A and B are shown apart, each in its own frame.
Chain A
């Protein structure tokens, strides 16, 4: 028994040594889903890109199709040519939470001596409007980073889904591919929603100014036909009627999703005057989803 205990201790020490030797190897599993820029298929490395030097290979060409980017943009091609000693390229937005590593590919016909790279970029829904610097650095087989090659990208509103403009804009957004519906009851008594998309004509016996009409711009994910927008706006292009407005969020269907986190934002004359958020769950899908449906999100008054 006494002879066995040292053997067991030695085995344990050996095991711990093996663990210590190999536990720190490799890269961390990280999808980089919180980064502003995403490169599907590439390795994400969290943290700032290492500073390069002359010892590393430079990026000879950095080619973009679009300098303009927007939230939710996908399949934005990027490509380039690397110095012959490069085996990979690191690419990312300056100031982002991390960067991406791509293995260098075969040379192109135009530059038969130089490795190339190509990828598709995607940009987060949460990217803030403004200018960004796209940085690319070649990396050689020893892991030396080269000097950067940069391009300026400008994040702007999506041309395919621009934000609505108007004196009063009430916006509902949500985060899963479910079917939510915005209901707005205006001071005239008109309820604007997917089945009654405009407050025109004004309700009879209205006692308030109904000189401007509101309308809803889109019925997103209607009938669970997923369009990816997940946003609806009720807009008064001109001066909205004075009085109290009531905003409700209805949930016709969750379309197989467990829930949906929603937000309502009210902008009057360019200023946010009210905001609310909530969660739509299965119980919210009950009912007829007609006039008066939905949970109360907020109420506000237009002077």
Chain B
């Protein structure tokens, strides 16, 4: 800005000097010929052209100066967003039936507005603000705030020579791992790894965050409610007064020509909530055992009441590590290897909600994912990812007289292909899912078929 003002002042000075030169009689003025004709017209015309050119430059500088002043007085507002429309061509779990307990349709073969985000960003010097709304039809039409935050940054303009700091409060991404913070329209696969969907459902939570970046190092630490927007219990609320601490420390360095290495370590520690129950009175229950519709003495059962049980809190935490290596392949584009691992205790809030009070033991969650993507020029990409998540590494099952350990793992192999053009993408992904939700002929848990073929159209604007 100072440079612009200096240029403006210099141009004004130049213009003024030229004008004065025009007004004053010049000792070198050419002689005027009879009839008023200019004897040496060419040099004079050149001066006038120069003056006109400088005048135009000055006008441009003034206009630019005015634009910058207006921007300073009125914060810059930017609108952006993206759309993701899914067509689940086939999901093996689909049935033309309703869920008996929730009444929700079991058919998954459908068109869905998976995400429709509109975002407004505002800048005013060191202050930043963001409001992002999400519209989707995943569980019926829904519009909700997905991000709403105010931030203070320093320095005002990015400068690689000094550390940059950012303090944010509001609804924001949870600073854990890599995929949780990866933008939805950038992520090459349809959804995040199962372990991250379970432990950080919705990826956004309310709280305050401090971020620092300097050269190859970046760090973020946040105090948050601990109930993300996608949590099954109390989403975006907080039934306990203790807050969760979440953070990540990461590095981003080139390790060879055309090869970049990014990695980080994350941790989350907080307090979960076990719901208490109200007192229940003594009751008499009629069980029509012979089904004759008549009340008989032996069909009346007394059910004793119970006192209220208090709500309880429990400790929960997780640690994780993430790494990516990006290799620039000539002609094709970036070849990216990605991996992430998380180990947690009592932190599942999205898939099989962890309640160690009810289970009478801590629930250990373990999961990891590994994948590779290859850009195929700027027009396409292909990728493969495997992820596994076990919500209870100590799970057991009563099978006849024996209490046997069982594997409660969910795994997914995602095979992805993508074509892209400017802000648009057409993505096809086949997910091979395995889970412990079925029962095999021998009574042991087995996969309830859930493979899915999905097409996604995406546009970023």
Contact = CB atoms under 8 A, between A and B. Distances in A.
Same assembly: yes
Interface of A: 1, 4, 8, 11-12, 14-15, 18-19, 22-23, 25-31, 33, 40, 42-43, 45, 50, 65-66, 68-70, 73, 75-77, 82, 84, 86-88, 90, 101-107, 113, 115, 139-143, 145, 159-160
Interface string B370-401: 00101010000010100000000000011111
A25 B434 contact: yes
Contacts of A143: 440-442
A26 B441 contact: no
A29 B92 contact: yes
Given A103-B443, A159-B293, A87 B448 contact: no
Contacts of A87: 399-400, 442-444
B441 A68 contact: no
B106 interface: yes
Contact of B415 (A19, A27, A141): A19
Contact of A104 (B374, B415, B443): B443
Given A8-B382, A29-B449, A159 B443 contact: no
Interface in B97-126: 97, 100, 106
A6 to B, nearest CB: 13
Contacts of B289: 65-66, 77
B399 A29 contact: no
A198 B300 CA distance: 37
Interface string B253-287: 00000000000000000000000000000000001
Given A11-B384, A14-B384, A143-B442, 17 more contacts: A1-B330, A11-B372, A12-B382, A15-B415, A22-B413, A23-B451, A25-B446, A27-B439, A27-B446, A29-B106, A31-B95, A43-B438, A70-B291, A77-B289, A101-B441, A139-B442, A142-B442
B441 A86 contact: no
A22 B292 contact: no
A76 B291 contact: yes
B397 A103 contact: yes
Residue from A29, A73, A107 whose CB has the most chain B CB atoms within 10 Å: A29
Given A23-B432, A104-B443, A30 B398 contact: no
Interface string B62-101: 0000000000000000000000000000001111010010
Contact of A15 (B92, B94, B384, B447): B384
Contact of A28 (B92, B287, B443): B92
Contacts of B400: 82, 84, 86-87, 104-107, 115
B430 A29 contact: no
A106 B441 contact: no
Contacts of B134: none
Contacts of A139: 441-443
Given A18-B413, A29-B95, A104-B443, A159 B291 contact: yes
B441 A159 contact: no
Contacts of A76: 291
Interface string B414-443: 010000000000000010101100111111
A45 B443 CA distance: 12
B448 A29 contact: yes
Contacts of B4: none
Nearest to B99: A31
B439 to A, nearest CB: 4
A225 to B, nearest CB: 19
B252 interface: no
A43 to B, nearest CB: 4
Contact of A31 (B100, B376, B443, B451): B100
B150 interface: no
Contacts of B438: 26-27, 29, 43
B139 interface: no
10 contacts: A8-B382, A23-B432, A25-B434, A31-B100, A87-B444, A107-B400, A115-B401, A139-B441, A143-B440, A160-B292
Contacts of B444: 87, 103, 141
Contacts of A82: 400
Contacts of A33: 97
Contacts of A70: 291
Contact of B449 (A28, A90, A145): A28
B329 interface: yes
B448 to A, nearest CB: 5
B95 A8 contact: no
B401 A101 contact: no
Nearest to A104: B400
Given A22-B432, A30-B95, A105-B398, A88 B442 contact: yes
A15 B439 CA distance: 27
Contacts of A1: 330-332
Interface string B347-374: 0000000000000000000000000101
Contact of A140 (B376, B415, B442): B442
Interface in B167-225: none
Contacts of A25: 434, 446-447
Contacts of A145: 441
B26 interface: no
Given A1-B332, A28-B92, A29-B92, A101 B447 contact: no
Contacts of B329: 4
A16 to B, nearest CB: 8
A25 B448 CA distance: 8
Contacts of B448: 26-29
Contacts of B309: none
Nearest to A30: B95
Residue from B397, B440, B450 whose CB has the most chain A CB atoms within 10 Å: B440
A178 to B, nearest CB: 15
A73 B94 CA distance: 27
Nearest to A45: B441
Contacts of B97: 31, 33
A30 B332 CA distance: 44
A90 B441 contact: yes
A88 B443 contact: yes
Contacts of B142: none
Interface in B34-76: none
